[in-house]
Copies of this chain bind each other. A is one copy, B any other.
């Protein structure tokens, strides 16, 4: 079955600091036209920083879009377009938690919201942790907390942890360690 949709025209609605919004007219597979709202995002990284005894460094921060503090794995965007994903993951890990890694392993991509949002989050696990220096952005406020991996899995299964990238990356790492 032909499923592809083709761009007929595009209109930029908003060009902001984190997101860019456009509305495109598209040609649907049945020959009709349709409208697609697209939120562009330049991509991000997230890291599961895990110690030899399976303790995970987590960050708790206020997420304005939800009006609540949310428990997440460390994550962030590229500093600029020349930074590579692995470097960004190591930098964000140290900036947010104050820990450095000797062993960063890529564990796959995560598409947060495929219907409208172009963001891709590149997921990593960080082992061989040792002390570095925390260095938060000017508008970034967070608390670092350490949890046993098994406690985080329980918090995911009970529904207490709701952040998507955190659910995906923690459950992937948990399954990797079982094998």
Contacts and interface: CB of A to CB of B under 8 A. Distances in A.
A62 interface: yes
Category for how many chain A residues contact B: 35 or more
Task: State the oligomeric state as a number of copies.
Answer: 2
A69 B174 CA distance: 28
A124 to B, nearest CB: 12
Contact of A111 (B2, B34, B117, B163): B163
Given A18-B116, A164-B164, A159 B109 contact: yes
Contacts of A165: 164
Given A164-B165, A175-B157, A143 B1 contact: yes
Contact of A157 (B1, B61, B172): B172
B3 A62 contact: yes
Interface string A1-43: 1111100000001101111010110101110101111110100
Contacts of A118: 65-66
Given A111-B164, A112-B164, A162-B109, A36 B62 contact: no
A171 to B, nearest CB: 4
Contacts of A156: 108, 172
Interface of A: 1-5, 13-14, 16-19, 21, 23-24, 26, 28-30, 32, 34-39, 41, 60-66, 69-70, 72, 107-120, 138-139, 141-143, 153, 156-159, 162-165, 167-168, 171-172, 174-176
